[in-house]
Structures are given as structure tokens and as C-alpha cells.
Amino acid sequence: MAFLAVVVHLHREWHLGQVNLLLLGIYIFLIRSFVQEKPVFTGLLLAVSLFIKPFGLIFYPYLLLRQRYRATLYSVGFLILLGLLPFLFYSSIPAFKHLYTSWFQELFFELRAKQSLLSEGNHTIFSVLARYTPVQYVLTSAAAIKIYQFIMLGIIGSAFLVFVRWGRHLPQHKVPELSFLIALIPLFAFTSENAFLFTAPCIIYLIYHYQKFSLAGKVCLVLACLLIGANIRDLVGAALYGYLHDISVYSFGTVLLLFLLFVLRYKRRTLLKDEQYQKGEALTA
């Protein structure tokens, strides 16, 4: 069911031959290896993902927060090894240096060519909030935009820390936390709507706990899946498809998923506290 919600993005990825589908597979295996406490494999998967696209940088603060220093060091080591791998095919140091110089130049050129913050179809959380709130009126300079983005990063980072704190004593807390981070990728990166397939782990987790939601929560989960995956040109028509794309409907669905993760974690945390309180009363009785 979860993949039905992102099937349109999976289809586009497959049709265009993009690498996000490969990255999704790597991230899913990364979650598994992290949960199973396999630092070497976790580090290898993270390094491979970074060698494909830099989205995986989002995991490093979490690894440090969870004190997974071995996995962090292994990932850095594997990343260095992968970075040196082209040297086998470029025998001279100048040629090897030129390879990476060209790569960084192309990367910076692509970043400069990205859409402006207030452009329609910019699906980042920075753009969505700016376009639909009065914040847009203060973003009158490059410095103001940078400050705004740093403030937003601070707010989102603080929210994630609260999410982690609420799950300290919960069993199996790692899966939703990593799913949360993976779902943030399309909200942070200036990329196409296909990247919203990264919401799949989050959707899988929420569907697994579907019965724990109230009726309103269940409706919100269905709505989030529709917002992310129902904007299909052949289904809604070209005009409506373009409109929904331009207003970043996928971003609203993803934010709703993250909100539901918070709701579910709060419910589980409250339930655990109630159980501990009842056990404490039973022991003192």
C-alpha cells in the first residue's frame, strides 16, 4: 500500500533512469543495518549513498546524536576509499584532480541554476513556507534568505530533537527516526517531485501502526498519501496536474506525514508512561 502512494514517482524514476530509486533501496537497507547494530555495513551504505548523491549528509548529525561513532568513522573511511577509486583509471595526479575539479564545478553550476526560493514548483519546505506566509515580504535580499533558511533549519532540527527525546524509552524507536530524516530529504533538497518517493519508509511505518490512530488520524494519513501520490497527469488532467505541481502539493503531504509521526510517538510515549505509572502503583500497593 505504501508503494501505491509513491507509485507515480517510482514510475517516473524508472522511466527517466534516475538514481533516487537506487538511493531509496540503500536507505532502507541502511535502516535495517542501523537497527541491527552493524556499524561497518551502515558506514558502507552511507558512503555509497553519498557517492551517488549528497542527500545522506542528513544522517551524520543523527549518528553523532545517537553516539554511533563507529558507523560514522566507517562511513568516512569508506567514502575516502570510494573517492580514491577513480585513481585506478586516471594514472596521473593532474588528471585525477581535474576529474574532481570538474565535478565540483558542475555541482556548483547546477546549484546556482536551481529555482529561486519563491518560484512555483519549488517543493522545499523553505519555499513552501515563504510562498504561503507573510515571510515572503521580508526576504528582500540574499542575506535575508540565508538567515531565514538557517532559522528554519534550527526550528526543524529542534523539532527533530524533541521527536528523538520523546522516543528515548520506546522500543524500536530507530525506524521512525530514520524514516523521519529520509522524508525530510525532498523538503530540503532542490530537486524534482520524484524525490518524494523517499516518503515511502515513513508511509510504511505509519500504515503498520494505522490502527493506533483516531479516525481523524486515519483520514489524515489517507489524505497525505493522496497529496503525495495522486497527482497523476492522466488521472487529473494536464491543467490540474500543473496547478497541483506548482503549489507543491507533495510537500503538504510530506509535512502531514511528519506531523502524524509526532502524533504516533506522543501516543506511544503517553501509553508507556501510563503503563509505568500503573506498575509503580501495583508495586507500592
pTM above 0.85, yes or no: yes
CA distances from 128 to 110, 125, 147, 206, 251 (A): 21, 5, 16, 24, 8
**How far apart are the C-alpha atoms of 231 and 112, rounded to whole Å?**
28
Grid coordinates of 255: 509535512
The count of other CB atoms within 10 Å of the CB of residue 204 is 16
pLDDT digits (tens, 9 = 90+) for 71-97: 999 999 999 998 888 777 776 778 777
Closest CA to 201 of 72, 20, 31, 74: 31
Closest CA to 238 of 226, 227, 248, 246: 246
Domain boundaries, the chain: 122-284
Quick check: 226 pLDDT over 60?
A: yes
**How far apart are the C-alpha atoms of 279 and 107, rounded to whole Å?**
57
SS3 of the chain: helix, strand, coil, percent, to 5: 80, 0, 20
Q: Is the dihedral of CA 161, 166, 172, 177 positive or negative?
A: negative
pLDDT digits (tens, 9 = 90+) for 175-192: 999 999 999 999 998 777
Which 8-state DSSP code applies to residue 19?
A: S
For residues 201 and 59, the answer to whether their CB atoms sit within 8 Å is no
Closest CA to 188 of 149, 141, 137: 149
End-to-end CA distance of the chain: 47
pLDDT digits (tens, 9 = 90+) for 2-11: 666 777 777 6
